[in-house]
């Protein structure tokens, strides 16, 4: 191998300065707006209904149904700042739903664009760069997370559980960050696997345990020692805690900083891995 | 309008020297030299796995070159990939159309990737739909199109940026004869308009129909190069007599006829007798008291060239 192999080891980076390549990436990502807008136009009706129904059903069944059953002085004491089980579970579910939306949107659609529809392949045959393709799709997922979270926040507000606009906006922003922190690593995962059966692993060992054991439904202090520690390392626990603080209006700045740092670190790591995986798969 | 002004090219539009593509231990392309000139229809002919698609992906500036030199429109695709790709039209082997989008949207959305304005995308889309005879399907779902229509739409899409070079990877594989002829007609028209065509195929008739010049690829190397007529003249006889005997008798029969023509090839189902005069050869076979179940005299084709060069047929 006398000659260099540009791009073959995908981690070697591009010859241009990082700043200019990011700007170029954003400019090229903008050219994909029409594509994602068209995709959204074809799917939004179904997603709007479900993004409204899901929080409504959860809050009615668990918040009110289960809540009435378990709301006792002893139980409410364990819920910290939350005055009721409904108030406790609502922000938890907001964060958990953001995670769920993020993971689903970053799983099959990403693999499909490599494997079935090959949308990414036709994109990189044009002047679009690999990074810009990733930026545009992630931006679309951010939009999906933010829009479903906005509906969720509105439903929580309907239940009278958010008392200020800044709290609502803050909860929406943090829920979107929670989603994005899960989306970028899943983008990397979906860009690496060859077969969709690998998603079963992600859903069963990642999504479901996190959904159940990250403090959305009960305070994780209730869990036996090791499980409690499992909760603390899951990104969703940090997301649930941060979202809850905002909705309940009782923010502990130190904890908030820790939660957000954890989520942002995961987001950045996921982005780096996703970019590497996309480069490997699209320019081999 | 054309950005070709940005890329003044002297000499060949595509120039490859010692081009190599390796995937791990597997060497798909093992050092090929290629020149493609403006206005030419150039073909890579070879069986599946010969390295045609790998060569094509490097030329399309999506797959990095492992070793050797490659310049497209005078540029190095490793350094100026986006600039090069802006001037290429790519028609991949498998249709990569978006099922979620309508026929027309597939064109307009794709045009945006090149930075073409929405209004311009719309007008080019309508023009291209007319060209590939899909105007009445503009609003249809891609899923509802036949294989031939999808292929035509893919070609229309690859023309949205008015490319200098159109790359076609196995353009008619999987299409019925009628759809193939319609597609060839479109490609002919493009060629007449001065678009440089580069295509891969494992169909000799396609190569003969479309290519001014071609290289025969086998196992990643070029085994012959020239115009279809040149290749046939160089590597085969004018005519071929195909003789069918009972299954299992061909080896034995080959020995009895091999001195009649210049050469005999034994295929599982028939003998190919290479000769300058097929009818005379047939008469000689009969004169020797041999009774083939069928006889066919035809002109030599690229298939024969390939058989001669590699000992194998193109389509397995």
Are the C-beta atoms of A236 and A214 separated by less than 8 Å? yes
* Cα Dmax for chain A: 75
Residue A51 contacts residue A147 (beta carbons within 8 Å): yes
- Cβ count within 10 A of residue B293: 10
Q: Which residues of A178-198 are buried (b: 16+ CB within 10 A; e: fewer)?
A: bbbbbbbbbbbbbbbbeeeee
Closest CB from A1, A35, A129 relative to B82? A129
Hey, are the CB atoms on B110 and A1 less than 8 Å from each other?
no
Handedness of CA A164, A169, A174, A176 (dihedral sign): positive
Domain locations along chain A: 29-282
Q: Which of A23, A47, A122 to mutate to test the interface with B (most CBs of B within 10 A)?
A: A122
Q: Which residues of B touch A1 (CB under 8 A)?
A: 22, 66-67
Q: pLDDT tens, position by position, for chain B (316 residues)?
A: 444 445 556 789 999 999 999 999 999 999 999 999 999 999 999 888 899 999 999 999 999 999 999 999 999 999 999 999 999 999 998 888 988 889 999 999 999 999 999 999 999 999 999 999 999 999 999 999 999 999 999 999 999 999 999 999 999 888 889 989 998 998 999 999 989 999 998 888 888 889 999 999 999 999 999 999 999 999 999 999 999 998 888 888 888 898 998 999 988 889 999 999 999 999 999 999 899 999 999 999 888 998 888 877 665 5
3-state secondary structure of B35: strand
Mention every residue, 6+ apart, whose C-beta is less than 8 A from residue A28: A127, A128, A129, A132
Q: What is the per-residue pLDDT for B46?
A: 86
With a CB-CB cutoff of 8 Å, which residues 213-242 of chain A face chain B?
Answer: none
DSSP structure class, residue B161 = T
B90 vs A: CB within 8 A: yes
Report how many Cβ contacts below 8 Å link chain A to chain B.
90
Instruction: Return the SS3 of A192.
Output: helix
User: In terms of CATH architecture, what is B237-299?
Assistant: 2-Layer Sandwich (3.30)
Q: Where are the domains of chain B?
A: 1-87+164-181+190-228, 96-162, 237-299
State the complex-level ipTM.
Answer: 0.85
Q: What is the pLDDT of residue A2?
A: 38
Predicted pLDDT of residue A46 = 79
Output the CA torsion B7→B9→B14→B19 (10° steps). -90
Do the chains contact at B64 and A8, CB–CB below 8 Å? yes
State the Cα–Cα distance between residues B55 and B50, nearest whole angstrom: 10
**Residue ranges of chain A with pLDDT lower than 70?**
1-20
Q: What 3-state DSSP class applies to B162?
A: coil
Q: What is the DSSP string of B242-272?
A: EEE-STT-HHHHHHHHTTTSSEEEE-SS-EE
State how far residue A111 is from chain B, nearest Cα, in angstroms. Answer: 14
pLDDT, mean over chain B:
91
Structure-token pair, residue B216: 């025969």
Model confidence pTM above 0.90: no
Instruction: State residue A20's pLDDT score.
Output: 62
- What is the per-residue pLDDT across A32-70, written as a single tens digit (0 to 9) for each? 999 999 999 888 887 888 888 888 888 888 888 888 888
CATH of B1-87+164-181+190-228, one of 3.50.50.60, 3.10.105.10, 3.40.50.300, 3.40.50.10470: 3.40.50.300
Nearest to A264 by CA among A146, A193, A184, A172: A184
Residues 6+ apart with CB under 8 A from A60: none
Q: What does the pLDDT read at residue A55?
A: 85
């Amino acid at each position: 191998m006398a000659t260099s192999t540009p791009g073959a080891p995908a981690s070697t980076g591009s010859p241009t300065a990082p700043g200019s390549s990011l700007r170029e990436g954003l400019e090229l990502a903008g050219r994909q707006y029409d594509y994602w807008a068209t995709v959204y136009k074809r799917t939004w009706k179904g997603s709007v209904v479900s993004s409204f129904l899901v929080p409504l059903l959860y809050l009615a069944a668990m918040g009110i149904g289960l809540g009435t059953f378990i709301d006792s002085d002893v139980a409410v004491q364990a819920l910290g700042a939350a005055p009721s089980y409904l108030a406790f579970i609502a922000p938890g579910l907001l964060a958990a739903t953001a995670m769920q939306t993020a993971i689903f949107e970053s799983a099959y659609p990403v693999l499909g664009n490599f494997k079935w529809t090959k949308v990414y392949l036709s994109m990189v045959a044009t002047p679009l760069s690999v990074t810009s393709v990733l930026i545009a799709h992630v931006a679309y997922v951010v939009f999906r997370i933010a829009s479903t979270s906005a509906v969720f926040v509105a439903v929580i507000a309907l239940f009278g559980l958010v008392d200020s606009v800044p709290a609502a906006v803050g909860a929406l922003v943090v829920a979107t960050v929670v989603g994005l922190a899960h989306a970028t690593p899943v983008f990397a995962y979906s860009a690496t696997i060859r077969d969709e059966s690998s998603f079963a692993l992600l859903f069963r060992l990642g999504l479901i345990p996190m959904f159940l054991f990250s403090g959305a439904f009960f305070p994780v202090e209730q869990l036996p020692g090791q499980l409690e520690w499992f909760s603390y390392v899951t990104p969703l626990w940090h997301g649930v805690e941060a979202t809850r603080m905002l909705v309940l209006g009782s923010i502990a700045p130190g904890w908030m900083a820790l939660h957000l740092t954890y989520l942002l670190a995961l987001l950045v790591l996921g982005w780096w891995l996703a970019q590497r995986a996309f480069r490997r798969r699209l320019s081999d | 309008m054309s950005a070709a002004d940005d890329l003044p090219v002297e000499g060949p539009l595509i120039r490859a020297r010692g081009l190599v593509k390796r995937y791990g231990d597997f060497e798909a392309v093992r050092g090929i030299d290629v020149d493609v000139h403006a206005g030419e229809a150039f073909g890579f002919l070879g069986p599946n796995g010969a390295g045609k698609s790998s060569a094509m992906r490097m030329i399309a500036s999506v797959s990095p070159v492992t070793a050797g030199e490659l310049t497209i429109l005078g540029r190095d695709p490793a350094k100026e990939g986006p600039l090069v790709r802006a001037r290429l039209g790519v028609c991949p082997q498998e249709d990569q159309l978006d099922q979620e989008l309508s026929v027309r949207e597939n064109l307009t959305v794709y045009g945006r990737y090149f930075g073409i304005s929405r209004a311009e995308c719309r007008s080019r889309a309508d023009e291209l739909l007319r060209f590939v005879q899909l105007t009445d399907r503009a609003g249809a779902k891609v899923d509802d199109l036949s294989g031939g229509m999808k292929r035509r739409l893919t070609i229309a899409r690859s023309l949205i940026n008015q490319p200098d070079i159109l790359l076609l990877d196995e353009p008619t594989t999987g299409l019925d004869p009628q759809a193939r002829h319609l597609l060839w007609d479109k490609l002919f028209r493009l060629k007449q308009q001065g678009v440089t065509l580069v295509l891969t195929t494992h169909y000799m008739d396609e190569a003969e129909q479309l290519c001014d010049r071609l290289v025969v690829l086998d196992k990643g190397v070029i085994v012959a190069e020239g115009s279809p007529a040149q290749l046939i003249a160089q590597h085969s006889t004018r005519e071929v007599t195909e003789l069918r005997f009972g299954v299992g008798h061909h080896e034995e029969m080959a020995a009895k006829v091999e001195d009649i023509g210049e050469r005999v090839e034994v295929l599982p189902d028939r003998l190919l007798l290479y000769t300058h005069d097929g009818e005379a050869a047939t008469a000689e076979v009969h004169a020797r008291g041999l009774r083939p179940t069928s006889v066919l005299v035809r002109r030599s084709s690229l298939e024969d060239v390939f058989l001669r060069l590699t000992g194998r047929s193109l389509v397995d």
